[in-house]
Amino acid sequence: MKRPPTVSRAVDRGLAPFRGKRAANLLPRARLGGPVPWVIAIMVALTVLAMGCALALSNLAASARGDLAGSATVQIIEADDDLRAEQASRVANLLRSDPVVENLRIVPEEEIAALLEPWLGTEETIEAVPLPTLIDLTLVAGAGEAQIAALETRIVQAAPSARIDAQEVWLAPVLEALQSLRLLAFGLIVMLAFTGAAAVWLAARNALGGNRDTIEIVHLLGGSDEQIARVFQRSVLLDALVGGLLGLILGAAAITLLASRFAALDSGMVAGGSLSTLDWVIIALVPLFAVAIAVYTARMTVIASLRKLL
């Protein structure tokens, strides 16, 4: 049955607040007056920090693998200088003719002394200690543990006091630890996302409970669940935008501070974990995902609650 024009105009006037900016009056509180923006800001800041750490660890592991892949070092540990030099010459000739070895370099004693100086002290102390001969190797692509083991057998036959160390092998526990930390960071991101969604869910339910009388009147005037849900979506959207922007600023500041502290270590390995432009773009997208999660959670919470309560 069609409503009389007078009743229709009355209903339209009653629903007018739900068609513009005045729809936000259903939640009569000042912006930043509730906990939602601050909770979202904290969640976004922690997520940005965790994402930055995860990306930095990924870059660090990739850089370490790239630098050490196919690298090995031969050590000739012999106290007698003449015998050590003779063994080093035999090993170098053997390695130059081995198809597994792509390139080699005999490390000068001055470099070895410079590396040991922080631990052994002055030059006089270092001269009193017999230094090993080091030969840096670059292996062909695809050289695995079997090829390295066979190469070590041939090296030991030529020089009994020699041994070979593949950097990628002894660095494997470090890379595994970095992988574990990276997975932990991503797990923390997922937990923070659930925590933020839970906070929005609680806030939406509290807002529904506090405005139940108003919502009942809106329903009596012909308002739909969709209209009411849009009101809550608009409110949560503004809160999430403010909180997300604040969280992004705080998280980016924390990442920049940590990066400056690690850069002060002046370590080549740490430098491999620096963030690229693409990484910063990914980090900048975190607040957008937070806003999307907050709005979607608010919408689903409101619609599900209205179907049960009204």
| Residue 12 binned pLDDT confidence (cut-offs 50, 70, 90) | very low
CA 191 to CA 102: how far, in whole Å? 47
Number of other residues whose CB lies within 10 A of the CB of residue 197:
19
Q: Which of 5-9, 122-126, 140-144 has the lowest mean pLDDT?
A: 5-9
pLDDT of residue 288: 92
Mean pLDDT computed over 278-305: 87
Cβ(267)–Cβ(56) below 8 Å? no
Cα separations in angstroms, 136 against 71, 105, 139, 197, 308: 7, 5, 10, 53, 72
Higher-pLDDT residue of 135 and 263 is: 135
- pLDDT > 60? residue 209: yes
* pLDDT mean across residues, the chain: 75
Q: Which of 54-63, 212-221, 289-298 has the lowest mean pLDDT?
A: 212-221
pLDDT tens for each residue of 59-84: 887 777 766 666 778 888 877 777 88
Can you give the pTM of this predicted structure?
A: 0.68
- pLDDT > 60? residue 10: no
pLDDT of residue 14: 46
Output the 3-class SS for 83-105.
Answer: HHHHHHHHHHHHHHCCCCEEEEE
Mean pLDDT computed over 137-153: 75
Q: Is 170 exposed, middle or buried (0-12, 13-18, 19+ CB in 10 A)?
A: exposed
H/E stretch holding 73 reads strand 71-76
pLDDT of residue 281: 92
For a pLDDT cut of 70, what percent of the chain falls above it? 69
pLDDT tens for each residue of 238-285: 888 989 999 999 999 998 888 887 776 665 555 566 788 888 999 999
Higher-pLDDT residue of 146 and 180 is: 180
CA 188 to CA 3: how far, in whole Å? 55
Mean pLDDT computed over 19-35: 51
CA 240 to CA 216: how far, in whole Å? 27
Domain ranges of the chain: 21-65+173-309, 78-160
Cα separations in angstroms, 218 against 51, 223, 300: 43, 5, 19
Cβ(94)–Cβ(158) below 8 Å? yes
